[in-house]
């Protein structure tokens, strides 16, 4: 069904039928419930705290002994926040937090898997692109520079690429 067909269908419904359909969608689909819960009670601070706790737990587990280091957890939250329409500053903060917590972990333990560093570089590239798109890079410039400097200081195998991303912005 196209958007135009849906619009035509909706205009043919009376108020009670429309209310009934929305309530049915709310009951049937978790995504609709999450969306309406956010729209009517946008507690962004709580959502971000929960996300940061889960991401931190990937590197510094509260329960269990071994860190899982899954980037997919943070990517899931970032995608979810973008879909909900959470403020761009909050999303950018979460994007950078993901890399910063990984760097905190690598300051204590050496990771030999090259894929880990490649994924962190991808996260950095995505964060910078997102901030440029939303025109908020200036507000996060110092954190981006710190991430680059930390990658260099910790001698990440791809640290020159972190540097190259930020150098391109200066010209």
pLDDT tens for 73-129 read 999 999 999 988 899 999 999 999 999 999 999 999 989 999 999 999 999 999 999
Question: So what's the pLDDT on residue 62?
Answer: 87
Task: Please tell me the predicted confidence (pLDDT) of residue 6.
Answer: 87
Q: Within 10 Å of residue 106's Cβ, how many Cβ atoms? A: 20
What pLDDT, on the 0 to 100 scale, is given for residue 43? 80
* Paired tokens of 82: 């973008």
pLDDT at 163: 93
pTM (predicted TM-score): 0.83
Phi-psi region of 156 (alpha: psi -120 to 50; beta: other; left: phi over 0): beta
Q: Which tops the pLDDT comparison, 9 or 143? A: 143
Distances (CA, A) of 83 to 59, 86, 149, 152: 26, 8, 32, 34
Q: Among 23-32, 61-70, 117-126, name the most confident range.
A: 117-126
Q: With beta carbons less than 8 A apart as the criterion, state whether 51 and 98 touch.
A: no
């Amino acid at each position: 069904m196209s958007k135009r067909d849906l619009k035509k269908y909706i205009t043919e419904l009376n108020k009670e039928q429309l209310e009934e359909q929305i309530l049915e969608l709310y009951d049937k689909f978790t995504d609709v419930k999450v969306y309406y819960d956010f729209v009517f009670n946008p507690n962004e601070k709580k959502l971000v705290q929960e996300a940061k706790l889960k991401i931190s737990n990937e590197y510094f587990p509260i329960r269990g002994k071994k860190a899982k280091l899954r980037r997919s957890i943070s990517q899931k939250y970032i995608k979810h926040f973008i879909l909900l329409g959470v403020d761009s500053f909050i999303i950018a903060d979460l994007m950078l937090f993901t890399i910063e917590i990984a760097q905190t972990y690598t300051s204590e333990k050496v990771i030999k898997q090259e894929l880990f560093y490649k994924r962190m570089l991808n996260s950095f590239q995505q964060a910078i692109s997102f901030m440029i798109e939303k025109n908020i890079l200036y507000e996060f410039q110092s954190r981006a520079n710190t991430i680059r400097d930390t990658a260099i200081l910790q001698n990440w195998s791809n640290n020159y690429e972190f540097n190259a991303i930020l150098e391109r912005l200066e010209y």
